[in-house]
Amino acid sequence: MTYLIAFAIIFLLAVVVIQIGKLTELSARIRGEEAVEKSSNTTQGIALVVFMIVFLVGTVWSAWAYKNDMLGYGPLTSASAHGFELDHIFNVTLFFTGIVFILTHIFLFWYSYKYRRTGNDRKALFFAHDTKLELIWTVVPAIVMTYLVANGLIAWNNIFPTLTSEDKYLEIEATGYQFAWDIRYPGGDGKLGNKDFRLIDPANNSLGIDWKDEASVDDIILGGSDKIYLPKDSTIKVRITAKDVLHNFYLPHFRVKMDAVPGLPTSFIFTPVKTTKEFREQLSAFPEWQVPADPADPSGPKRWEKFEYELACAELCGKGHYSMRRVIEVVEREEFDIWLAGQKSFYVTNIRGKEIDPWAGKKLFPFEIKARASELKSDIANFISDTTGTANRNIQLKHVFYATGSSDLNSELSKYELDHLVELMSKYANMRVELAGHTDNVGDAASNLSLSNSRANKVLEYLISKGVSASRLSAKGYGQDQPLETNDTADGRQINRRTELRIISK
Ligand SMILES: [Cu+2]
């Protein structure tokens, strides 16, 4: 229907134009062509001058009236260190191009009026060459252009310092795809692990991270709609890539904008200088931001209170392009460190202990030993201090390992958790525990029972060898009878093969 109406309008407009043309022709025949042309040229010349005045006044007025809504002015001054320099470059460019813009429009329209044809008495001046003029319009733009380009290059070099390994900076990685960003943080070691596109596995490893690289096991990946946290006054390097089509990593408030190209990593370095809170305060000084955020709720929070920094995709990358928007929160360094420490690494939550884990039974990483120690401590403390009778008395010893199919305790790896348990046993001197062994359902039930029994006893022996009194310990094998997960999957069986700590009395 809309198309039909649009087509009808265009058709009718064409008819009107043709009719006016016919009418002018007819009146020219009646009044004499020259007289008609003269008066029509004058009318059009005046109309052009009026248009020029309205257009130029409108341009200047609107730029002034809406300056507070434009990046770089009023409330929207830069939130990053380099942004001020970029805004300055834009202003210098605007100054020169503004002069040219206004002058060319004045000349264009004024000359159309002044040199309109009013008879046959006027002829254009013709000259073949004028060295002076050529010089002026070559040299002046050349000087201005050189100045602008050189200034731009200097600014670009300032914005992009060459970071060496000695510089302190936070490197994060943004991977764009239809239609979201995966943001990767380097975890405690400050290093992003290697990636290889051949390792991409949509179900378990959508970024193709190489888990064999130890730098990758503590990497944190923010998915979907999580807020992106950044520390104030810290140099941040963003590695930008894409998995499918072109995207664009755009942080308007920080004047950061860089294409995300599949197969060709790009990067950007910037330093946020205002926390989200500080930027909100900056906004609150302007009347435009003192209005309610939601017009339907006049007593609700003000616009400045609801402000968030955003990451947008600035490339029209497909139907769901809009949903690539992400909120960015800039906080003080201390707050950032606390936030980062509270994040679980992708490896720990998704890969560890599964079949695809290259480190299963081979290595424990310092951060997981630490995390596991505090988990065990709080699990036991929870049970000890519980008065409601709801706390869990069965605590899985997640870092106790045996040789495959045998009861040989891998004490090289198991010593961390078990030694920590010894410490906790001496802290809670009245605690008595049972060590409970469990298996999956592979093989026959009787041998599983005996395997679980001897495994539990191996842990018991280890604890006794470390000085825990035998009277506080017992060991029992439960075989395959108490699975936690299905035995139908490899991951499920992995979980079912376990040794548990059962607190008998506090
Ligand atoms: Cu996109």
According to the model, what pLDDT value does residue 14 have? 94
According to the model, what pLDDT value does residue 359 have? 82
Q: Ligand 1 centroid to 409 CA: how many Å?
A: 51
Distance CA 171, CA 184 (A): 9
In a domain, 316, yes or no: yes
Q: Ligand 1 centroid to 183 CA: how many Å?
A: 14
Looking at the fold, whether 279 and 306 belong to one and the same domain comes out as yes
Last residue of a domain, one of 349, 376, 404: 349
Q: Ligand 1 centroid to 149 CA: how many Å?
A: 30
According to the model, what pLDDT value does residue 229 have? 92
In a domain, 197, yes or no: yes
Q: Ligand 1 centroid to 224 CA: how many Å?
A: 14
Domain residue limits at 38:
14-118+130-159
Looking at the fold, whether 405 and 327 belong to one and the same domain comes out as no
Q: Ligand 1 centroid to 177 CA: how many Å?
A: 7
Last residue of a domain, one of 305, 320, 349: 349
DSSP SS3 for 442: coil
Rounded to whole angstroms, what are the CA distances from 325 to 279, 315, 328, 467?
19, 12, 10, 57
Q: Report the candidate in 394, 405, 397 with the shortest Cα–Cα distance to residue 450.
A: 405
Q: Which residues pair with 249 in a beta bridge?
A: 258, 313
- Residue 122, judged by CB atoms within 10 A of its CB (0-12, 13-18, 19+), counts as exposed
Q: Ligand 1 centroid to 174 CA: how many Å?
A: 12
Structural tokens at position 71: 């990046």
Angle in degrees, CA 196, 271, 188, rounded to 5: 50
309-313 and 326-331 beta bridge pairing: antiparallel
Looking at the fold, whether 149 and 225 belong to one and the same domain comes out as no
Could you tell me the sign of the dihedral formed by the alpha carbons of 210, 215, 220, 224, in that order?
negative
Number of compact structural domains in the chain: 3
Looking at the fold, whether 152 and 197 belong to one and the same domain comes out as no
Q: Ligand 1 centroid to 236 CA: how many Å?
A: 22
Q: Report the candidate in 186, 97, 198 with the shortest Cα–Cα distance to residue 144.
A: 97
In a domain, 8, yes or no: no
Distance CA 40, CA 51 (A): 16
Indicate the pTM of the whole model: 0.72
Last residue of a domain, one of 301, 326, 349: 349
Which DSSP letter does residue 241 get? Answer: E
In a domain, 123, yes or no: no
Looking at the fold, whether 249 and 365 belong to one and the same domain comes out as no
Looking up residue 228, the CATH number of its domain turns out to be 2.60.40.420
Looking up residue 481, the CATH number of its domain turns out to be 3.30.1330.60
In a domain, 70, yes or no: yes
**Maximum alpha-carbon separation in the chain:** 126
Looking at the fold, whether 255 and 179 belong to one and the same domain comes out as yes
One-letter amino acid of 390: T
Mean pLDDT in each 10-residue stretch from start to end of the chain (506 residues)?
A: 89 92 79 76 92 94 91 89 90 92 94 84 83 93 93 86 80 90 87 86 84 85 84 91 92 92 89 92 89 86 90 90 91 90 83 78 79 85 81 83 81 83 85 87 85 86 85 85 85 84 82
Residue 180: left (phi > 0), alpha (psi -120 to 50), or beta? beta
Q: Ligand 1 centroid to 244 CA: how many Å?
A: 10
Structural tokens at position 268: 């950007």
Q: Ligand 1 centroid to 179 CA: how many Å?
A: 6
Q: Ligand 1 centroid to 250 CA: how many Å?
A: 10
Q: How far apart are the first and last CA of the chain?
A: 79
